[in-house]
Amino acid sequence: MFPDRRRISEALGRAANLIEVVRGDLDRETVDRMRHRLDRKLREIDAVLFEVHAKAARALFEGSCHPGARMVLDIHIDAPGLENLTVSPRLPDGVEAFETAREPGHVQYAITIPASAPHSGNYPEAYDPLGANGEAGVIVSGEVEGRTIGVDLDPEEPLKIVPLKSLFLDPVTATIRIGDRPSSIQVKAAGADPSDWHAPEGWNVRTEGGDWIIDPPQLTRPGVSRLIPIVDGRPISQVQTVAYPHIHPTFYIAPAELKVLALDVALPTDARIGYVGAGSDNVGTHMRRLGLEVTDLAEADLQIGSLSEFTTILVGIFGFGLRRDLQAATKRLHRFVEEGGHLVTLYHRPTDGWNPDHTPPRRLVIGSPSLRWRVTDPSAPVTVLKPNSPLLMSPNRIEVNDWQGWDKERGLYFAAEYDPAYEELLALNDPGESPLKGSLVSARIGRGRHTHVALVLHHQLDKLVPGAFRLLANLVQPA
């Protein structure tokens, strides 16, 4: 508590009165231009006055928060310096509050959330240190030295309306090659039991042995089909709890749906792929769904197994940093390339166990800092530098459409320096910046090939970007 509240209150009151007088004297154009700044200053003054005259203030929602739920809002305010104190909840549309208890310094409300209430968004638009954050709060007002002040008090935990039930599907995506005879997709559902599915015309959904079986029609056009499970008469979501030591637990809500990509893609002939995953991407899964022959390589495979049975070995993102057995196998991988194999490395950071002189078969330096060696615009134009490269020609001709619809970014940690054996296949850049040529480089080495990919290909696969699958099919072709 400040020792001289009156002097502070008087000074701030004079400042607030001056702002209000000036605002009244300004012409309309100036007021419209400056209104947000003047209003902000008045809010700041109210916030300081509240801090000076309130010993304690807290609001807490208690109970489960989902459509149809009943909760309790407890408000505790000890503000002896405020006269004519009033409090009232600020709630989302449709949410009702009934006062159930009142005593000095404490008010309690019963909160009713309608069954039709929409779920909360995952991310607030912004954060304001003065309060009024989130979908709910407490409006507090009172008088100080004859001046009425008001603050919007944030609750200790934000009110977040989450689904009562949560459903997790496995898998959540699938791919179908146009022209292939469609096969059934087996889907496991956990957490809730769908009563029905919204499916596009021609699709059939049935149950078998506790799982859901999706029977696609014969698809002739590329695109994404969405199948949505229904629980209690409405589409259901999946809810994931996010909890770390440095933050309060929160929830991430996403629609529960199966997305099926139909795409026109050809697969390389006689490709036998060894996949070295590090748990940071789903590339191995996506390759299998395409119909490629893929073997996950464990430590024993890398140390003593026969690598010659594979035409291609693909190393997932961060692989050399997360798998020590992979670091120990670099000489074997180099020999695999020299003897005719195709080594494909997806993007790595310089700190991911990547030694420019020893990790790749030929010297290749990963650019740092990443801000300098990345293209963040997912729609940045792509210039093909080697249009006749087999990696861009076969078995799929990579064209302009294959670079459309990318998500988040083009790539990062581009190669910055490399042996002259490496060919630069692409050039791309963010607006106003110089072209970068290290996003996709490939070198003939001995009888084989090493291709380094700094494009965020793994992310595009997760987002079902058709061009990413077509490019991947090319990249894993034999040398």
Helix (H), strand (E) at residue 14:
helix 5-25
The residue behind tokens 């042996």 is: 419
Q: What is the pLDDT, as a whole number, of residue 155?
A: 96
Taking the C-alpha atoms of residue 175 and residue 230, their distance in angstroms, rounded to an integer, is 22
The β-bridge partners of 382 are: 428
Taking the C-alpha atoms of residue 442 and residue 9, their distance in angstroms, rounded to an integer, is 71
The length of the chain is 479
Of the candidates 295, 358, 362, the one whose C-alpha atom is nearest the C-alpha of residue 327 is: 358
- For residue range 302-360, what is the model confidence (pLDDT) as tens digits? 999 999 999 999 999 999 999 999 999 999 999 999 999 999 999 999 999 999 999 99
Q: What is the pLDDT, as a whole number, of residue 3?
A: 57
Q: What is the pLDDT, as a whole number, of residue 18?
A: 86
Task: Kindly provide the residue ranges of all beta strands, DSSP E only, lying in 166-325, ordered along the sequence.
Answer: 168-170, 173-177, 185-190, 196-198, 204-208, 211-215, 223-231, 234-235, 237-242, 250-255, 258-263, 272-276, 293-296, 312-315
Q: In sequence order, what DSSP letters do the residues of 87-125 get, joined into one string? A: EEEE--TT-EEEEEEEETTEEEEEEE--TTPPPPPSS-S
Q: How many CA atoms lie within 13 A of 335 on its CB side?
A: 9
Q: What are the φ and ψ backbone dihedral angles of 461, each rounded to 5 degrees?
A: -60, -45
Identify the segments of the chain with pLDDT beneath 50.
1
User: Under 8 Å CB-to-CB from 432, ≥6 apart: which residues?
Assistant: none
Residue type, 315: V
Taking the C-alpha atoms of residue 450 and residue 8, their distance in angstroms, rounded to an integer, is 71
If you average pLDDT over every residue of the chain, what do you get? 94
Q: What is the pLDDT, as a whole number, of residue 1?
A: 46
- For residue range 136-187, what is the model confidence (pLDDT) as tens digits? 999 999 998 888 999 999 999 999 999 999 999 999 999 999 988 889 999 9
